[in-house]
């Protein structure tokens, strides 16, 4: 059982849903990211997705792309990110998963990446550019280490393929609510509840929904079928305000207040 498995088992026993923020490592710097992770943990977030900056991100909208560019321009490197996470994870309760391109894992080497990530206290990885047909080796090595491999199902994924993805995944399934890029939206597709409900019947794994979620109303809509909600752009945008003159302390307070509001909605 991984740390993520334990988390969702506890949430289910208590009839609660997970709130999972996304943050970009190194935006605007790694010291701030460390403070941000501690702030999100203190606010009660259940787990956190840490984006490893990449020059050619998959399906990320302009807000997250801009955050990756800021981090890369600042010279952020993978080893420094993992060192930062190692200094933080022992002091927080929420599991950490990385959103990381397979190109990065491949360059480092699967075994080396997993060993370094685990040593840093990371509990799993979301690998958006890893097709399920090519994920067997990575999935097997993650399973050996009780390291969760979270894979994505989208509204356009054929149902037979969605079942195959669920079988190859561990920790939870990341359901992409929209056929498009990340970003805040006023409304979610009308069929998202039906689609997640169908997927729920195919697997015992928890299902977390991301892309476009930015308002408490979205959480209310998804609560009947989802095990958790993932919010990225709404948080990354608040952090990006630092570039426009907002203080780091002010950005942390804004993120904390937003996370608390979403948590209250999800589990009231």
Q: Say yes or no to pLDDT of 101 above 60.
A: yes
Domain presence at residue 268: no
Distance of CA 158 to the CA centre of its chain: 23
Q: Say yes or no to pLDDT of 154 above 70.
A: yes
Contact between residue 120 and residue 95 where contact means Cβ atoms under 8 Å apart: no
Range name among 48-52, 171-175, 180-184 with the lowest pLDDT average: 180-184
Average pLDDT value for residue range 175-193: 65
Domain presence at residue 127: yes
Which pLDDT value is given to residue 222?
85
Contact between residue 203 and residue 181 where contact means Cβ atoms under 8 Å apart: no
Per-residue pLDDT tens over the stretch 205-237: 999 998 777 677 777 888 888 999 999 888 999
Is 163 or 267 the better-scoring residue by pLDDT?
Answer: 163
Q: How many domains does the chain have?
A: 1
Range name among 126-135, 168-177, 185-194, 250-259 with the lowest pLDDT average: 185-194
Average pLDDT value for residue range 35-41: 98
Q: Which residues are catalytic?
A: 49, 60
Q: Say yes or no to pLDDT of 11 above 60.
A: yes
Q: Which CATH number goes with the domain that contains 63?
A: 3.20.20.70
Which pLDDT value is given to residue 183?
45
CA–CA distance, 84 with 257 (Å, rounded to integer): 24
Domain presence at residue 237: yes
CA–CA distance, 59 with 256 (Å, rounded to integer): 26
Please, what is the angle between helix 248-266 and helix 233-240, to 10°?
160
Helical H runs in the chain?
Answer: 3-13, 30-43, 62-73, 78-89, 102-108, 110-119, 136-144, 159-168, 192-200, 216-222, 233-240, 248-266
Domain presence at residue 267: no
- The parent domain of residue 146 ranges over 3-262
What are the b/e assignments for 157-188, b being 16+ CB within 10 Å?
beeeebebbbebbbbbbbbbbbeebbbbbeeb
Neighbours of 75 (CB within 10 A): 9
Q: Say yes or no to pLDDT of 60 above 90.
A: no
Neighbours of 59 (CB within 10 A): 16
CA–CA distance, 35 with 40 (Å, rounded to integer): 9
Which pLDDT value is given to residue 184?
45
Domain presence at residue 89: yes
Per-residue pLDDT tens over the stretch 246-261: 999 999 999 999 999 9
Q: Is the peptide bond before 28 cis (omega within 30 degrees of 0)?
A: yes
Contact between residue 36 and residue 239 where contact means Cβ atoms under 8 Å apart: yes
Domain presence at residue 19: yes
Per-residue pLDDT tens over the stretch 118-133: 999 999 999 999 989 9
Here the tokens at position 124 are 């799993």
Q: How far is CA 131 from CA 115, 136, 162, 169, in A?
A: 22, 10, 12, 12
Domain presence at residue 65: yes
Domain presence at residue 147: yes
CA–CA distance, 54 with 24 (Å, rounded to integer): 10
């Amino acid at each position: 059982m991984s740390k993520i498995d334990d988390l969702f088992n506890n949430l289910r026993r208590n009839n609660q849903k997970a709130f999972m923020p996304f943050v970009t490592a190194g935006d605007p710097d790694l010291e701030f990211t460390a403070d941000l992770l501690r702030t999100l943990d203190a606010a009660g977030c259940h787990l956190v997705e840490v984006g490893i900056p990449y020059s050619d991100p998959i399906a990320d909208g302009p807000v997250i792309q801009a955050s990756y560019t800021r981090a890369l321009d600042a010279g952020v490197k993978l080893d420094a990110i993992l060192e930062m996470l190692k200094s933080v994870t022992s002091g927080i309760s929420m599991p950490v998963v990385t959103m990381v391109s397979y190109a990065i894992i491949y360059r480092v080497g699967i075994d080396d990446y997993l060993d370094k990530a685990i040593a840093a206290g990371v509990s799993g990885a979301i690998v958006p550019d890893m097709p399920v047909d090519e994920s067997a080796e990575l999935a097997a090595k993650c399973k050996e280490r009780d390291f969760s491999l979270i894979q994505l199902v989208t509204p356009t994924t054929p149902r037979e393929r969605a079942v195959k993805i669920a079988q190859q995944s561990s920790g939870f399934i990341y359901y992409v609510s929209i056929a498009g890029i990340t970003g805040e939206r006023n409304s979610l597709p009308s069929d998202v509840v039906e689609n997640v409900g169908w997927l729920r019947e195919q697997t015992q794994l928890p299902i977390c929904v991301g892309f476009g979620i930015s308002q408490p109303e979205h959480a209310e809509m998804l609560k009947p079928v989802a095990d958790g909600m993932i919010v990225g752009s709404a948080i990354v945008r608040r952090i990006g305000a630092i570039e426009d003159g907002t203080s780091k302390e002010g950005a942390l307070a804004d993120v904390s207040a937003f996370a608390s509001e979403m948590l209250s909605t999800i589990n009231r």
